[in-house]
Amino acid sequence: MVPRMPDGRWLLLIHQIPPQPSYLRVKVGRRLQALGAVPVKNSVYVLPSGEQALEDFQWVRKEIVAGGGDASVCEARFVEGLSDGAIEALFVAARGADYEALAAEARALQAGLGGRGKRAAEARAQADGTLARLRRKLEAIRRIDFFPTPGRDAAERLIDSIEAGLRPPAAAETAIEAGAHGALRGRTWVTRSGVQIDRIASAWLIRRFIDPDARFRFARGDEPIAAGELRFDMFEAEFTHEGDRCTFEVLLRRCGLDDRALDHIGEIVHDIDLKDGKFAREEAAGIGQLIAGIAMRHADDEARLRDGAAVFDSLYAFSLRRPGAK
């Protein structure tokens, strides 16, 4: 049985690995990388303290000792030199590099799908398998993403966008008939935890204009949903990115919301979420910073939705008074 951890902030694995067998160092290095551990000194690796982290380090230590090396696992608080913030930054940098490498693979896939000829046809034929592999890599990175990493949302959106582009256009339309609001009332709406701009805006739109009695549940990307639940802005969701539309725009179109003020908000959300400058809305930078501030202030998703709703209520009131809003 793994003992309960004291109140320490970090766990350290300090090891000495013999030069032979040569594969042991490589094997241990890959194992530590898979656990999300980062080096703070030569042969000193750190993880945020926790029962799972302790068990993981204990298994690595056992492997090192069995190979003829030596290792210790200890609880640590950094008093001088490295600060907690500096160590967190090491984790963020490591996961940021992982997300960027994943995004580069996804962009290469997307570029191949957009071409013509034999190579593009082969890429499309293999796309489902490639996407599944990218999804597995994304989930593996998410499991070791211990601190908020900015590159996560961008990588997730890119993979969602590729998946939406591969899906036949009719598939999303037949999931729930456009404008069938009766089928959307009193539902539980599920989205990924760690909500940001598109999910916050979409939740506001759902509760304000589509399903006033909506309940929201926040899940990991691989969690199953219960009967009657609706997913938004996540993989294989009933409402998610379609082509170059963000989820907010898809909800507007699919639910038949003909409102120029909402269209205006949708263009702002699009520019913030997709960062493609399609609508060049001057409000996007300020609204984006405000929503980012809400996310920094609140780790709790419900709190983010509450504060975000106040922002979008005010933005809607402003948008109604723009020329041609209705």
- Give yes or no for a cis peptide into 21 (omega within 30° of 0): yes
Q: What is the pLDDT of residue 224?
A: 80
Indicate if 181 and 314 belong to the same structural domain.
yes
Please name the helix (run of DSSP H) or strand (run of DSSP E) that holds residue 186, with its range, or none.
Answer: none
The string of DSSP letters for 250-282 reads HHHHHTT---HHHHHHHHHHHHHHH-S-SS--T
By the 8 A CB rule, do 188 and 216 touch? Answer: yes
User: Is the residue at 14 inside a domain?
Assistant: yes
> Which among 133, 166, 199 is the end of a domain?
166
Q: What is the pLDDT of residue 1?
A: 40
By the 8 A CB rule, do 64 and 45 touch? Answer: no
Low-confidence ranges of the chain (pLDDT < 50): 1-6, 169-175, 177-179
Indicate if 196 and 298 belong to the same structural domain.
yes
> Which among 30, 56, 76 is the end of a domain?
76
Q: What is the pLDDT of residue 2?
A: 42
Q: What is the pLDDT of residue 128?
A: 75
Q: What is the pLDDT of residue 6?
A: 44
CATH code where residue 50 lies: 3.30.70.240
Indicate if 180 and 133 belong to the same structural domain.
no
Indicate if 219 and 294 belong to the same structural domain.
yes
Distance (Å, whole) CA 152 – CA 313: 27
Indicate if 177 and 207 belong to the same structural domain.
yes
Indicate if 237 and 315 belong to the same structural domain.
yes
CA dihedral sign, ordered 291, 292, 297, 302 = positive
Q: What is the pLDDT of residue 7?
A: 52
Domains identified in the chain, total number: 3
Supply the pTM of this predicted model. Answer: 0.56
Indicate if 274 and 312 belong to the same structural domain.
yes
What token pair was written down for 298? 């609140």
Which residues span the domain enclosing 70? 10-76
Q: What is the pLDDT of residue 123?
A: 61
Q: What is the pLDDT of residue 278?
A: 86
Indicate if 97 and 204 belong to the same structural domain.
no
> Which among 166, 200, 221 is the end of a domain?
166
Indicate if 124 and 226 belong to the same structural domain.
no
Distance (Å, whole) CA 248 – CA 268: 10
Indicate if 250 and 283 belong to the same structural domain.
yes
